[in-house]
Protein backbone atom coordinates (compact mmCIF):
# COMPACT_ATOMS: atom_id res chain seq x y z
CA UNK A 1 0.00 0.00 0.00
CA UNK A 2 1.36 3.43 -0.93
CA UNK A 3 2.78 5.33 2.05
CA UNK A 4 0.49 8.35 1.54
CA UNK A 5 -2.43 6.01 2.19
CA UNK A 6 -0.91 5.04 5.57
CA UNK A 7 -0.48 8.74 6.16
CA UNK A 8 -4.16 9.33 5.41
CA UNK A 9 -5.19 6.60 7.88
CA UNK A 10 -2.90 7.93 10.61
CA UNK A 11 -4.09 11.49 10.09
CA UNK A 12 -7.75 10.48 10.04
CA UNK A 13 -7.44 8.37 13.20
CA UNK A 14 -5.75 11.22 15.05
CA UNK A 15 -8.29 13.86 13.99
CA UNK A 16 -11.32 11.67 14.52
CA UNK A 17 -10.50 9.68 17.67
CA UNK A 18 -7.39 11.41 19.09
CA UNK A 19 -5.46 8.17 18.63
CA UNK A 20 -1.79 8.34 17.65
CA UNK A 21 -0.53 5.51 15.47
CA UNK A 22 3.15 5.93 14.74
CA UNK A 23 4.75 5.04 11.44
CA UNK A 24 6.15 1.81 12.93
CA UNK A 25 2.59 0.50 13.24
CA UNK A 26 1.86 0.25 9.52
CA UNK A 27 1.65 -3.54 9.93
CA UNK A 28 -1.34 -2.94 12.23
CA UNK A 29 -3.10 -1.02 9.49
CA UNK A 30 -2.46 -3.90 7.08
CA UNK A 31 -3.63 -6.56 9.54
CA UNK A 32 -6.74 -4.81 10.84
CA UNK A 33 -8.00 -2.85 7.86
CA UNK A 34 -7.58 -5.72 5.38
CA UNK A 35 -10.65 -7.68 6.60
CA UNK A 36 -12.76 -4.48 6.74
CA UNK A 37 -11.79 -3.57 3.17
CA UNK A 38 -12.80 -7.05 2.05
CA UNK A 39 -16.09 -6.97 3.96
CA UNK A 40 -16.86 -3.58 2.40
CA UNK A 41 -16.41 -5.16 -1.06
CA UNK A 42 -13.01 -3.71 -2.01
CA UNK A 43 -10.33 -5.77 -3.69
CA UNK A 44 -7.54 -4.25 -1.61
CA UNK A 45 -6.85 -1.98 1.37
CA UNK A 46 -5.56 0.54 -1.13
CA UNK A 47 -8.88 0.60 -2.99
CA UNK A 48 -10.81 0.95 0.30
CA UNK A 49 -8.66 3.87 1.49
CA UNK A 50 -8.89 5.56 -1.94
CA UNK A 51 -12.69 5.39 -1.68
CA UNK A 52 -12.64 6.80 1.85
CA UNK A 53 -10.43 9.67 0.69
CA UNK A 54 -12.85 10.47 -2.11
CA UNK A 55 -16.08 10.26 -0.15
CA UNK A 56 -17.64 12.24 2.67
CA UNK A 57 -17.24 10.83 6.13
CA UNK A 58 -19.62 7.93 6.71
CA UNK A 59 -19.94 4.28 7.61
CA UNK A 60 -16.65 3.23 6.03
CA UNK A 61 -14.72 5.84 7.99
CA UNK A 62 -16.33 4.67 11.23
CA UNK A 63 -15.41 1.07 10.48
CA UNK A 64 -11.83 2.18 9.80
CA UNK A 65 -11.59 3.76 13.27
CA UNK A 66 -13.26 0.76 14.91
CA UNK A 67 -10.79 -1.59 13.23
CA UNK A 68 -7.83 0.37 14.55
CA UNK A 69 -8.90 0.72 18.18
CA UNK A 70 -7.90 -1.80 20.83
CA UNK A 71 -10.77 -3.26 22.84
CA UNK A 72 -8.78 -5.33 25.28
CA UNK A 73 -10.55 -5.58 28.65
CA UNK A 74 -11.42 -8.10 31.35
CA UNK A 75 -13.56 -8.52 34.46
CA UNK A 76 -12.10 -6.90 37.60
CA UNK A 77 -9.13 -5.80 35.49
CA UNK A 78 -6.01 -5.17 37.63
CA UNK A 79 -7.87 -6.35 40.75
CA UNK A 80 -6.55 -3.59 43.09
CA UNK A 81 -8.89 -0.78 41.96
CA UNK A 82 -11.88 -2.99 42.77
CA UNK A 83 -10.50 -3.89 46.21
CA UNK A 84 -10.02 -0.19 47.00
CA UNK A 85 -13.51 0.53 45.70
CA UNK A 86 -15.02 -2.13 47.90
CA UNK A 87 -13.11 -1.45 51.10
CA UNK A 88 -12.48 2.27 51.02
CA UNK A 89 -14.01 4.42 48.30
CA UNK A 90 -17.56 3.10 48.21
CA UNK A 91 -17.96 3.09 52.01
CA UNK A 92 -16.69 6.71 52.05
CA UNK A 93 -18.91 7.79 49.16
CA UNK A 94 -21.95 6.08 50.61
CA UNK A 95 -21.39 7.87 53.92
CA UNK A 96 -21.00 11.21 52.09
CA UNK A 97 -24.13 10.68 49.94
CA UNK A 98 -26.36 9.21 52.61
CA UNK A 99 -28.57 12.29 52.57
CA UNK A 100 -29.13 12.32 48.80
CA UNK A 101 -29.08 8.52 48.33
CA UNK A 102 -27.77 8.88 44.81
CA UNK A 103 -24.58 7.78 43.02
CA UNK A 104 -23.54 8.59 39.44
CA UNK A 105 -20.74 6.71 37.68
CA UNK A 106 -19.34 7.14 34.15
CA UNK A 107 -17.23 4.55 32.34
CA UNK A 108 -15.76 6.57 29.48
CA UNK A 109 -14.24 3.75 27.40
CA UNK A 110 -16.25 0.75 28.43
CA UNK A 111 -15.40 -1.59 25.54
CA UNK A 112 -17.40 -4.84 25.78
CA UNK A 113 -18.77 -4.09 29.24
CA UNK A 114 -16.58 -6.06 31.64
CA UNK A 115 -15.55 -2.93 33.57
CA UNK A 116 -19.02 -1.48 34.31
CA UNK A 117 -20.45 -4.94 34.97
CA UNK A 118 -17.64 -5.73 37.43
CA UNK A 119 -18.52 -2.61 39.43
CA UNK A 120 -22.25 -3.39 39.18
CA UNK A 121 -21.72 -6.90 40.55
CA UNK A 122 -19.57 -5.44 43.32
CA UNK A 123 -22.34 -2.96 44.20
CA UNK A 124 -24.99 -5.70 44.34
CA UNK A 125 -22.83 -8.20 46.15
CA UNK A 126 -21.33 -6.06 48.88
CA UNK A 127 -23.59 -3.01 49.25
CA UNK A 128 -27.17 -4.33 49.46
CA UNK A 129 -28.32 -1.04 51.02
CA UNK A 130 -27.77 0.62 47.62
CA UNK A 131 -30.71 -1.25 46.07
CA UNK A 132 -32.94 1.53 47.43
CA UNK A 133 -30.65 4.31 46.10
CA UNK A 134 -30.77 5.93 42.69
CA UNK A 135 -27.67 4.53 40.97
CA UNK A 136 -26.90 5.92 37.52
CA UNK A 137 -24.20 4.15 35.53
CA UNK A 138 -23.40 5.44 32.06
CA UNK A 139 -20.95 3.43 29.94
CA UNK A 140 -19.71 4.88 26.66
CA UNK A 141 -17.39 3.94 23.82
CA UNK A 142 -16.94 5.05 20.23
CA UNK A 143 -17.20 1.56 18.79
CA UNK A 144 -20.68 0.34 17.92
CA UNK A 145 -19.85 -3.40 17.77
CA UNK A 146 -18.36 -3.37 21.29
CA UNK A 147 -21.37 -1.43 22.60
CA UNK A 148 -23.71 -4.00 21.06
CA UNK A 149 -21.82 -6.84 22.71
CA UNK A 150 -21.76 -4.97 26.03
CA UNK A 151 -25.53 -4.46 25.98
CA UNK A 152 -26.03 -8.16 25.30
CA UNK A 153 -23.91 -9.14 28.33
CA UNK A 154 -22.99 -12.51 26.87
CA UNK A 155 -19.42 -13.73 27.27
CA UNK A 156 -17.32 -16.73 26.22
CA UNK A 157 -15.78 -19.13 28.71
CA UNK A 158 -12.41 -17.52 28.01
CA UNK A 159 -13.77 -14.06 28.76
CA UNK A 160 -15.32 -15.05 32.09
CA UNK A 161 -12.19 -17.01 33.00
CA UNK A 162 -10.35 -13.70 32.79
CA UNK A 163 -11.20 -12.22 36.17
CA UNK A 164 -14.70 -13.35 37.12
CA UNK A 165 -14.51 -15.33 40.40
CA UNK A 166 -16.37 -18.66 40.14
CA UNK A 167 -18.92 -17.94 42.94
CA UNK A 168 -19.89 -14.63 41.30
CA UNK A 169 -20.04 -16.28 37.87
CA UNK A 170 -22.47 -18.91 39.15
CA UNK A 171 -24.55 -16.33 41.00
CA UNK A 172 -24.92 -13.64 38.30
CA UNK A 173 -24.57 -15.55 34.98
CA UNK A 174 -26.42 -18.44 33.32
CA UNK A 175 -24.71 -20.86 30.96
CA UNK A 176 -26.07 -20.67 27.41
CA UNK A 177 -24.40 -23.30 25.25
CA UNK A 178 -20.75 -22.33 25.20
CA UNK A 179 -21.38 -18.84 26.59
CA UNK A 180 -22.37 -17.17 29.85
CA UNK A 181 -25.29 -14.75 29.96
CA UNK A 182 -25.21 -12.00 32.60
CA UNK A 183 -28.54 -11.70 34.41
CA UNK A 184 -31.00 -8.93 33.54
CA UNK A 185 -30.82 -7.24 36.91
CA UNK A 186 -27.10 -6.45 36.56
CA UNK A 187 -27.46 -5.64 32.85
CA UNK A 188 -30.17 -3.12 33.59
CA UNK A 189 -27.90 -1.24 36.01
CA UNK A 190 -25.77 0.11 33.13
CA UNK A 191 -26.79 2.28 30.17
CA UNK A 192 -24.47 1.96 27.15
CA UNK A 193 -24.18 4.84 24.70
CA UNK A 194 -21.95 5.88 21.83
CA UNK A 195 -19.59 8.74 22.70
CA UNK A 196 -16.35 9.85 21.07
CA UNK A 197 -14.06 11.31 23.73
CA UNK A 198 -12.34 13.37 21.06
CA UNK A 199 -15.56 15.10 19.96
CA UNK A 200 -18.11 17.31 21.69
CA UNK A 201 -19.67 15.61 24.75
CA UNK A 202 -23.41 15.82 25.36
CA UNK A 203 -24.53 17.39 28.65
CA UNK A 204 -24.16 14.59 31.18
CA UNK A 205 -24.29 16.17 34.63
CA UNK A 206 -21.77 15.50 37.38
CA UNK A 207 -20.36 12.06 38.26
CA UNK A 208 -19.10 10.82 41.63
CA UNK A 209 -16.68 8.50 39.85
CA UNK A 210 -15.25 8.52 36.33
CA UNK A 211 -13.48 5.45 34.98
CA UNK A 212 -11.37 6.24 31.93
CA UNK A 213 -8.96 3.36 32.01
CA UNK A 214 -6.61 2.20 29.29
CA UNK A 215 -7.77 4.52 26.56
CA UNK A 216 -5.80 7.75 26.98
CA UNK A 217 -2.55 5.82 26.48
CA UNK A 218 -3.43 5.89 22.78
CA UNK A 219 -3.95 9.69 22.68
CA UNK A 220 -1.54 12.55 22.15
CA UNK A 221 -0.75 14.95 24.99
CA UNK A 222 -3.14 17.70 23.91
CA UNK A 223 -6.04 15.24 23.58
CA UNK A 224 -5.28 13.83 27.06
CA UNK A 225 -5.14 17.32 28.55
CA UNK A 226 -8.40 18.38 26.94
CA UNK A 227 -10.15 15.25 28.24
CA UNK A 228 -8.80 15.61 31.78
CA UNK A 229 -9.90 19.25 31.79
CA UNK A 230 -13.44 18.26 30.86
CA UNK A 231 -13.52 15.42 33.40
CA UNK A 232 -12.37 17.81 36.11
CA UNK A 233 -15.45 19.90 35.39
CA UNK A 234 -17.70 16.84 35.75
CA UNK A 235 -16.31 15.67 39.09
CA UNK A 236 -17.60 17.08 42.37
CA UNK A 237 -14.91 18.19 44.82
CA UNK A 238 -14.96 14.78 46.54
CA UNK A 239 -15.24 12.68 43.35
CA UNK A 240 -12.86 10.01 42.07
CA UNK A 241 -11.09 9.50 38.75
CA UNK A 242 -9.81 6.05 37.76
CA UNK A 243 -7.02 5.63 35.22
CA UNK A 244 -5.35 2.45 33.94
CA UNK A 245 -2.39 0.93 35.77
CA UNK A 246 0.19 2.52 33.45
CA UNK A 247 -1.56 5.88 33.14
CA UNK A 248 -1.19 9.05 35.19
CA UNK A 249 -2.21 12.71 35.28
CA UNK A 250 1.39 13.76 36.01
CA UNK A 251 2.59 16.47 33.60
CA UNK A 252 -0.90 16.60 32.12
CA UNK A 253 -3.12 18.23 34.73
CA UNK A 254 -1.84 19.24 38.17
CA UNK A 255 -5.37 19.76 39.47
CA UNK A 256 -5.47 15.98 40.02
CA UNK A 257 -3.37 14.07 42.53
CA UNK A 258 -2.97 10.38 43.05
CA UNK A 259 -5.11 9.03 45.92
CA UNK A 260 -3.09 7.21 48.59
CA UNK A 261 -4.32 3.76 47.60
CA UNK A 262 -1.63 1.45 46.24
CA UNK A 263 -1.94 0.45 42.58
CA UNK A 264 -5.55 1.63 42.38
CA UNK A 265 -5.03 4.12 39.52
CA UNK A 266 -7.29 6.41 41.55
CA UNK A 267 -7.01 10.21 41.46
CA UNK A 268 -8.77 13.03 43.31
CA UNK A 269 -9.06 16.75 42.84
CA UNK A 270 -5.94 18.34 44.31
CA UNK A 271 -7.74 20.77 46.62
CA UNK A 272 -9.66 17.94 48.33
CA UNK A 273 -6.68 15.67 48.66
CA UNK A 274 -4.74 18.47 50.35
CA UNK A 275 -7.58 19.29 52.76
C1 LIG B 1 -8.38 -0.96 25.75
S2 LIG B 1 -10.10 -0.64 25.85
C3 LIG B 1 -10.28 -0.29 27.58
C4 LIG B 1 -11.52 -0.88 28.17
C5 LIG B 1 -11.68 -0.70 29.70
N6 LIG B 1 -11.76 0.70 30.05
C7 LIG B 1 -10.57 -1.37 30.45
O8 LIG B 1 -9.70 -0.70 30.99
O9 LIG B 1 -10.55 -2.61 30.50
C10 LIG B 1 -10.19 0.96 25.08
C11 LIG B 1 -11.57 1.32 24.55
O12 LIG B 1 -11.53 2.71 24.22
C13 LIG B 1 -12.33 2.92 23.08
N14 LIG B 1 -11.90 4.20 22.45
C15 LIG B 1 -10.78 4.46 21.74
N16 LIG B 1 -10.76 5.72 21.34
C17 LIG B 1 -11.90 6.30 21.81
C18 LIG B 1 -12.48 7.59 21.72
N19 LIG B 1 -11.87 8.57 21.04
N20 LIG B 1 -13.67 7.82 22.30
C21 LIG B 1 -14.31 6.82 22.98
N22 LIG B 1 -13.82 5.57 23.10
C23 LIG B 1 -12.63 5.31 22.52
C24 LIG B 1 -12.09 1.70 22.22
O25 LIG B 1 -13.16 1.49 21.31
C26 LIG B 1 -11.96 0.60 23.28
O27 LIG B 1 -13.17 -0.09 23.47
Mutate to test the pocket of ligand 1, among 62, 65, 69 (most ligand atoms within 8 A of CB): 69
* Share of the chain residues as helix, strand and coil, in percent rounded to the nearest 5: 50, 15, 35
Q: Whose CA is nearest to atom 26 of ligand 1?
A: 71
- Asked whether this chain's domains 3-67 and 80-274 adopt the same fold, the reply is no
What's the gap in Å between 146 CA and the centre of ligand 1?
10
Q: Whose CA is nearest to atom 7 of ligand 1?
A: 73
Q: How many helices (H) and strands (E) does the chain have?
A: 13, 10
Note down pLDDT in tens along the chain; length 275 residues. Answer: 567 778 999 999 999 999 999 888 888 888 999 999 999 999 999 999 999 999 888 899 999 999 999 999 999 999 999 999 999 999 999 999 999 999 999 999 999 999 999 999 999 999 999 999 999 999 999 999 999 999 999 999 999 999 999 999 999 999 999 999 999 999 999 999 999 999 999 999 999 999 999 999 999 999 999 999 999 999 999 999 999 999 999 999 999 999 998 899 999 999 765 66
Q: Whose CA is nearest to atom 16 of ligand 1?
A: 17
Fold of 80-274: Rossmann fold (3.40.50)
Predicted model pTM: 0.96
Ligand 1: nearest atom to the Cα of 19:
16
Q: How far is CA 41 from the centre of its chain?
A: 31
What's the gap in Å between 144 CA and the centre of ligand 1?
11
- Ranges of beta strands (E only) in 23-141 are 102-107, 134-141
Delimit the domains of the chain by residue range: 3-67, 80-274
- Which pLDDT does position 262 carry in this prediction? 84
What's the gap in Å between 50 CA and the centre of ligand 1?
27
What's the gap in Å between 126 CA and the centre of ligand 1?
27
Q: Whose CA is nearest to atom 27 of ligand 1?
A: 111
Fold of 3-67: Chemotaxis Receptor Methyltransferase Cher; domain 1 (1.10.155)
Amino acid sequence: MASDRYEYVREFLRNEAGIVLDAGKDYLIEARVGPVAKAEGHESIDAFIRTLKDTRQGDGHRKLVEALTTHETSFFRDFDPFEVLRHKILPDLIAARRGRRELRIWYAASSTGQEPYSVSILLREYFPELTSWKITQLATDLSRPVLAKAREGRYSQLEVNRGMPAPLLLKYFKKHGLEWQLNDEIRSMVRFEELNLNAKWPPMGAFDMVFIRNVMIYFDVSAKQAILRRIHDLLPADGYLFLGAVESTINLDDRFVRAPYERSGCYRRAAVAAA
